[in-house]
Amino acid sequence: MKTVHVATGKPYDIFIERGMIGSCADYVKKLTSARRVTVISDSNVAPLYLEKVTAPLKSAGFGVNAFVFEAGEKQKHLGTISDIYRSLADFGMTRKDIIIALGGGVCGDMAGFAAATYLRGIDFIQIPTSLLSQVDSSVGGKTGVDLPQGKNLVGAFHQPVAVLIDPDTLKTLPGEFLTDGMGEVIKYGCIKDAEFFSFLENNDALKSIDSVIETCVKIKRDVVSRDEREKGERMLLNFGHTLGHSIEKLSGFSGITHGMAVAVGMVMIARAGEKNGVTEPGTAERIIRLCEKYGLPTKTDFGFAEIAAAARGDKKSAGNGINLVLLEKIGESFTEKIGFEKLEAFITS
C-alpha cells in the first residue's frame, strides 16, 4: 500500500492499493464513530461496486443506506442534491455519521457537497473509481454542483477524512474514461513537473498507472497543503480549465468529457501564450502531440468569441476579468488576470 498524507487544516491520508475497495468498513471503524453510513453512487458504478462496499459495512454492524443517481454531468445540479438531502434525513443520518462517495468526479463533487452542507457538515470518505477522480477531483476538498450558467458555481471546501484509491477499478472503465483522465494527468506535467511530462511522452502511462496516480496526487497534495482555499498557487491546477469549462458549457455538458475539454483548453491557452510572447515556442506542439498520443482532442468547432463569452460565467472570474493559468514552459506555470474585453483578443492573437 502507498500512503500520501495531506496536511490541510483537516489532515487526512490517501491510500493507494489494488483490491482495497472492499476494505472500507475497516477505515470507517478507524476514522469515525459513525453508526450509519450512506453510500452515494451513480447508475454506472453501482452495479459494479455498490455491493462490494455495502456488504462489508453491514457485516461490521453499520446501518447502511444507498443513494444512486443517474450517471452523467447533467445530474450534477441542486435538484440531485435536494434528493440526497431527503435520503440522508429519511435514514436518520446524524453529525457523527458518514457519507461514502463511490464513483467518479461528478459523484465525489456532489457527495462531498452534500456532506459539507447537511447538518452544517458531516464526514465523508472518497472512493474514486475513475482515472480522473483518482488523480485529481477526489483530492483537495473541492465540492460542488453546476448551474445553467456554468460549472461548479455552487460549492464548498470540505476535506474528506480519507481517500481510498483502488486502481483495479480502472479495469472496468470504458476506454473513453481512461482517455478522459489522461487530460488531468497531462495537466500536472504541464504546470509542475517537466520530468513527468517527458515520462508521459516516452512511456505508456497506462502500463504504470499506479505510479502515475501517486505522482499526480503528490503534486496536488503539495499544492493544496500550501494553498487550501485557492488564494494563490492552487489556481495553477486550473490550467486548461477556464476555456475547457467554456467548451463543456457550450456543448450542453454532453458530447465531450471534462478531461477532453481540458485538453483542448490546454492547447488553446498554450498557443495563446506563445503568440503573446509569454510561453516558450514549441510548448503547444508538445502538448498537442502528447494529447493525441492518449486519444485526446486538441481542437474544437466553437469559435473564439463564443468561448470567450462563455468564460464570463466561470468561477475563476474576478471583478471585470478572469485569472488565466499560463505556462512559461513545460513544468513552469503562472497566473495572469486578463480583462474580459481583452480575453477574446488574447486567445485569438
Could you please state the CATH topology (level 3) that the domain comprising 175-348 is classified under: Dehydroquinate synthase-like, alpha domain (1.20.1090)
Q: Note every long-range contact of 234-237, with CB atoms under 8 Å and residues 24 or more positions apart, other chains counting.
A: 234/140, 235/316, 235/323, 235/325, 235/335, 236/191, 236/192, 236/325, 236/333, 236/334, 236/335, 237/136, 237/140, 237/187, 237/191
CATH for 2-172?
Answer: 3.40.50.1970
Strand partners, 337: 323
The whole-model pTM stands at 0.93
Question: pLDDT (tens digit, 9 = 90+) per residue, 22-81?
Answer: 899 999 999 999 999 999 999 999 999 999 999 999 999 999 999 999 999 999 999 999
- Whether the pLDDT of residue 152 is over 80: the answer is yes
Residue-averaged pLDDT of the chain = 95
- pLDDT at site 318: 67
Are residues 123 and 32 in contact, defined by beta-carbon separation less than 8 angstroms?
Answer: yes
Q: Distance between CA atoms of 274 and 349, rounded to whole angstroms? A: 10
Question: pLDDT (tens digit, 9 = 90+) per residue, 1-29?
Answer: 999 999 999 999 999 999 999 899 999 99
| Residue 226 grid coordinates | 500550501
3-class state of residue 184 by DSSP? helix
Confidence of residue 254 (pLDDT cuts 50, 70, 90): confident
One DSSP character per residue, 39-103 reads EEEETTTHHHHHHHHHHHHHHTT-EEEEEEE--SGGG-SHHHHHHHHHHHHHHT--TT-EEEEEE
In the chain, CATH 1.20.1090.10 sits at 175-348
- pLDDT at site 158: 97
Higher-pLDDT residue of 151, 36 = 36
DSSP H/E element including 328: strand 321-329
Q: Distance between CA atoms of 293 and 280, rounded to whole angstroms? A: 21
- pLDDT at site 314: 72
Question: pLDDT (tens digit, 9 = 90+) per residue, 178-225?
Answer: 999 999 999 999 999 999 999 999 999 999 999 999 999 999 999 999
- Give the rounded distance of the alpha carbon of 168 from its chain centre: 19
- pLDDT at site 315: 63
Are residues 88 and 97 in contact, defined by beta-carbon separation less than 8 angstroms?
Answer: no
* Least confident piece of the model among 37-46, 257-266, 319-328: 319-328
Share of the chain above pLDDT 90, in %: 91
Confidence of residue 255 (pLDDT cuts 50, 70, 90): confident
3-class state of residue 162 by DSSP? strand
In the chain, CATH 3.40.50.1970 sits at 2-172
Q: Distance between CA atoms of 125 and 230, rounded to whole angstroms? A: 22
Confidence of residue 320 (pLDDT cuts 50, 70, 90): confident
Q: Distance between CA atoms of 209 and 196, rounded to whole angstroms? A: 13
Q: Distance between CA atoms of 296 and 166, rounded to whole angstroms? A: 24
Confidence of residue 170 (pLDDT cuts 50, 70, 90): very high
